[in-house]
Structure 1
Amino acid sequence: MPQIPNEHPTLWIRSTRSESLKGKTIVLAVTGSIAAVRTVELAREFIRRGADVYAVMSEGAGWIINPMALHYATGNEVITEITGKVEHVEFFGNLGRADLLLIAPATANTLGKIAAGIDDTPVTTFATTAIGAGKPVMVVPAMHEDMYNHPAVMENIEKMKGWGIGFIGPRIEEGIAKIAGNDEIVLEVERAIGKRTLCGKKILITSGSTAEPIDPIRILTNRASGKTGNELALEAYRRGAEVTIVHRNKLGVTGINEIYAETAAQMTDAVLGELSAGYDVLISSAAIADYTIDSSDRKIKSGEEGLKLSFKNTRKLIKEARQAYPQVKIIGFKAEAGVDSEELLKRARQTLENSGLDMIVANEVSKEGMGTDNNSITILYSGNKDNISIEGSKSLIANVLIDEITDMLTSKGEN
Structure 2
Amino acid sequence: MEQQPTGIRGILRRQAPPWRRLPDRWPGPGGLGEEDGTRLPWLSTLLITGFVMIGSGFAAKGQPDRESLDVFARLLLAGGTVSLLWRRRHPVLVAFVTAGTALVYLSAGYPYGPVFLTVALGCFSAVVTGHRKAAWSALGMLWAGHLLVAHWLYRWLPPDDGPAPWSQEIGVAAWAAAVVALSELARVKREQWRRERREREQAARRRADEERLRIARELHDVLAHSISVINVQAGVGLALLDSDPEQARSALTAIKSASKEALGEVRQVLDNLRTPGDVPRAPAPGLARLPELVEQAAGVGLTVEVTAEGDPVALPPGADLAAFRIVQEALTNVVRHSGSRTARVHLCHEPAVLRLRIDDDGPATGAPAGGSGNGLAGMRERAAALGGTIEAAPREDGGFSVSAVLPFREDR
TM-score (norm 1): 0.20
Higher strand share: 1
Higher helix share: 2
Which structure has the greater CA radius of gyration? 2
